[in-house]
Amino acid sequence: MVKSTSSFDLAIVIGAGAFGTSIASVLATNFKHVLLIVRSPDVYQGLKKGENQIYLPGLKLPENIDVCLDWKEFEEFTKNRKIELVVCGLPTSGIRAFFDLHSARFSEFFKRGIPFVSLSKGIDPETLELPDDLLLDYFYEYRDLITFFSGPSFAKEIVEKQITLGSLAGRSKKVLMSIAQMMETPYFKVFPSYDVKGVLLGGALKNILAIAGGIVEGLGYNHNTRAAMITRGITEMLRFGVVFNARPETFYGLSGMGDLILTTTGDLSRNKLFGMELAKGRRAQEIITSQRSVVEGYKTAKAAKLLSEKYEVRARIFDAIYSVLYEDKAPKDVIEDLMSTPVRFEIT
């Protein structure tokens, strides 16, 4: 049902994965229309019926979410409507492929002053860059309009209207506050931040610790051990932050600690479930090839390993997870690693 109180006209969301779809459902509150740009025909067919049957099965989406599969359909839908926000829900690994083809179109949106929110989390395994650099390669000219959302937010719970808070990082206070207003609903809220690198790095690295959390739980360890692993892990995260000149406080905010708590203690994280499968003795490559959803932490673990080598980051837990994923180290060795460090001061 289109609400007469909607303040904004049209929001575009690129990518109809679970997260992109959930943000579309948030935007459906304040926007008259939300248009999802979909790449897969099967996702498209489901969404036409008001449900993302592939990524969020069983959840009814707001009726003012529309969908398009190509630019012809896009043009038709948008021609008499005012685009006021563009959201990009592509996986990190899909950013280049998409904008290599379509950057001209998005430059047009930027020229009109339309703000942009990226939802991508991850580190590019080749360049070791975060999503901001991947996007700014195409759109540096429009940097003030580009923002990055990250926070503790299972897509399913967002669609269910569970109360959800996140960080929105960018350069321009005006743009951040304006997007915050567009996204705010009684159950969803973003907190602006200028620390783009910190927000993105927390969102990327936490997936690796979620795998560690899954391993800990899968091996039968309980709350004390899980809390210890998370806490020691975030200490290592901060050391990566130094390399990107991120602020420590950001890692302790919604996009860092908040998201880490969510993914390691909640039961909906693909990364955590992946870790639990590893604990059963399955090999990483086998699990990855058997499922459709992207396990961001798997790829990010490789990037983190390259980063820790390149910049000499002391990251015992991250390195151990890498070895489990790519060198067939036994998951239980990760736990032993945690305990076998010599006694040292906690703050070092």
Residue of 206, 272, 299, 305 with catalytic role: 206
Q: Report the candidate in 320, 328, 273 with the shortest Cα–Cα distance to residue 296.
A: 273
CB of 219 or CB of 288, closer to a second copy: 219
Within positions 214 to 243, which residues make up the interface with a second copy, using CB under 8 A? Answer: 221-228, 230-232, 234-235
Given 128, 136, 165, 294, the residue binding a second copy (CB under 8 A): 165
CB of 84 or CB of 259, closer to a second copy: 259
Give 224-278 as a DSSP string.
HHHHHHHHHHHHHHHHHHHHTT--HHHHTSIIIIIHHHHHHHSS--HHHHHHHHH
Q: Name the region of 128 (left: φ>0; alpha: ψ -120 to 50; beta: rest).
A: left
C-alpha distances in Å from residue 44, one per residue of 14, 40, 77, 149, 214 = 13, 6, 15, 24, 32
For residue 215, the minimal CB distance to a second copy (Å) is: 12
For residue 108, the minimal CB distance to a second copy (Å) is: 29
For residue 302, the minimal CB distance to a second copy (Å) is: 26
Q: Does 193 bind a second copy (CB under 8 A)?
A: yes
Q: Does 181 bind a second copy (CB under 8 A)?
A: yes
Q: Does 262 bind a second copy (CB under 8 A)?
A: yes
Given 3, 82, 141, 163, the residue binding a second copy (CB under 8 A): 163
For residue 221, the minimal CB distance to a second copy (Å) is: 6
Q: Does 68 bind a second copy (CB under 8 A)?
A: no
Number of CB atoms found within 10 A of residue 209's CB: 27
Q: Report the candidate in 319, 341, 288, 300 with the shortest Cα–Cα distance to residue 200.
A: 300
Which spans in the chain are helix H?
18-30, 41-48, 71-78, 95-111, 131-139, 155-159, 173-183, 196-218, 223-243, 248-251, 259-265, 270-279, 284-289, 296-310, 316-326, 331-340
Q: Which residues pair with 14 in a beta bridge?
A: 37, 88
Q: Does 160 bind a second copy (CB under 8 A)?
A: yes
Q: Does 162 bind a second copy (CB under 8 A)?
A: yes
Place of tokens 């909607």: 6
Radius of gyration of the chain (CA): 20
Q: Does 344 bind a second copy (CB under 8 A)?
A: yes
CB of 53 or CB of 225, closer to a second copy: 225
Phi then psi for 215, rounded to 5 degrees?
A: -65, -45
How far apart CA 138 and CA 122 sit, in angstroms, is 18
Within positions 135 to 154, which residues make up the interface with a second copy, using CB under 8 A? Answer: 151-154
CB of 38 or CB of 276, closer to a second copy: 276
For residue 120, the minimal CB distance to a second copy (Å) is: 19
Q: Does 52 bind a second copy (CB under 8 A)?
A: no
For residue 153, the minimal CB distance to a second copy (Å) is: 5
Given 84, 124, 132, 195, the residue binding a second copy (CB under 8 A): 195
Place of tokens 């050391």: 239
Interacting span for a second copy (CB under 8 A) from 2-10, 24-32, 87-95, 156-164: 156-164
CB of 78 or CB of 271, closer to a second copy: 271
b or e along 115-132 (b: 16 or more beta carbons within 10 Å of the residue's beta carbon)?
bbbbbbbbbbbeebbbbb
Query: Is residue 206 among the annotated active site residues?
Result: yes
Q: Does 53 bind a second copy (CB under 8 A)?
A: no
Place of tokens 């000499």: 312
Q: Does 338 bind a second copy (CB under 8 A)?
A: yes
Place of tokens 């829900």: 89
For residue 73, the minimal CB distance to a second copy (Å) is: 32
Q: Report the candidate in 289, 282, 231, 239 with the shortest Cα–Cα distance to residue 260.
A: 231
Instruction: Return residues touching a second copy (CB under 8 A).
Output: 151-154, 157-158, 160, 162-165, 167, 177, 180-181, 184, 186-187, 189-195, 221-228, 230-232, 234-235, 247-254, 257-259, 261-262, 265-268, 335, 338-339, 343-347
Annotated catalytic residues are: 206
